[in-house]
Amino acid sequence: MKGRKKLKNFFIDLKIPRAERLKIPLVISGNDICWVAGLRIDERFKILPDTGKTLKLRLMRL
């Protein structure tokens, strides 16, 4: 997906109930949302062949 979308509209488009939205973790860098955990990663933060340093995150249910 290209461009930007408000998080609220992203959740609405995916038909995620309002009560569930607060349970979805977000990974943030500065003012940017890098990853809506389990749903979508921002194109600017994807790992590419020429990517240098990375941070590995693992999402686990408790």
- pLDDT tens for the chain, residues 1 to 62: 577 899 999 999 999 999 999 999 999 999 999 999 999 999 999 999 999 999 998 888 88
CB-based contact 32:24 (threshold 8 Å)? no
Q: How many domains does the chain have?
A: 1
Q: Is residue 28 part of a domain?
A: yes
Q: How far is CA 42 from the centre of its chain?
A: 6
Residue 54: inside a domain: no
Considering the domain boundaries, does residue 15 fall inside one?
A: yes
Domain of 20 in residue numbering reads as 7-44
As beta bridge partners, residue 8 has none
CB 26 within 8 A of CB 36: yes
Distance CA 40, CA 38 (A): 6
Number of H helices, E strands in the chain: 2, 3
